[in-house]
């Protein structure tokens, strides 16, 4: 079945350094991939969503590229900000059941001053 694997646990880095959170997936066909972000005491909200036409989605300085050859959708940002500290989820909507969205276990990003 469909599955999502992302960098687990805590990622700590200093403000200004680049961010990369890994996400790889297993899916039979061509899934849609998402990144959701959850700040402390808030609800998760959509950060990025993959496009069908290979465009690279970008939002708030974050971007992610869907690489079908390596089944990956890594989240990147060139320069981390303190406000980026949050829990990040990679998620997949498969081709066999578009409604059943599979979430990864989440990665905590902690940005230090």
Partner 1 sequence: GGIITQTPKFLIGQEGQKLTLKCQQNFNHDTMYWYRQDSGKGLRLIYYSITENDLQKGDLSEGYDASREKKSSFSLTVTSAQKNEMAVFLCASSIQGRDTQYFGPGTRLLVL
**Under rule CB under 8 A, residue 106 binds partner 1:** yes
Q: Does 7 bind partner 1 (CB under 8 A)?
A: no
Q: Which two tokens stand for residue 67?
A: 């690489």
Tell me the three state secondary structure of residue 4: strand
Choices 11-19, 21-29, 75-83, 93-101; region in contact with partner 1 by CB under 8 A: 93-101
CA dist 86 and 13 (Å) reads: 12
Question: Which residues, 6+ apart, have CB-to-CB distance to 42 below 8 Å?
Answer: none
Residue 11 in the binding site for partner 1 (CB under 8 A) = no
Please report, as ranges, the residues that interact with partner 1 according to CB under 8 A: 8-9, 32, 36, 42-46, 49, 89, 91, 93, 97-106
């Amino acid at each position: 079945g469909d599955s999502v694997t992302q960098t687990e646990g805590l990622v700590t880095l200093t403000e200004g350094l680049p961010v990369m959170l890994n996400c790889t997936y297993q899916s039979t066909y061509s899934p849609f991939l998402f990144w959701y972000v959850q700040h402390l005491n808030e609800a998760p909200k959509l950060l990025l969503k993959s496009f069908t036409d290979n465009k690279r989605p970008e939002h708030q300085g974050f971007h992610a590229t869907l690489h079908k050859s390596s089944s990956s959708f890594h989240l990147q940002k060139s320069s981390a900000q303190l406000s980026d500290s949050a829990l990040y989820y990679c998620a997949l909507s498969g081709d066999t059941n578009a409604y059943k969205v599979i979430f990864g276990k989440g990665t905590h990003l902690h940005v230090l001053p």
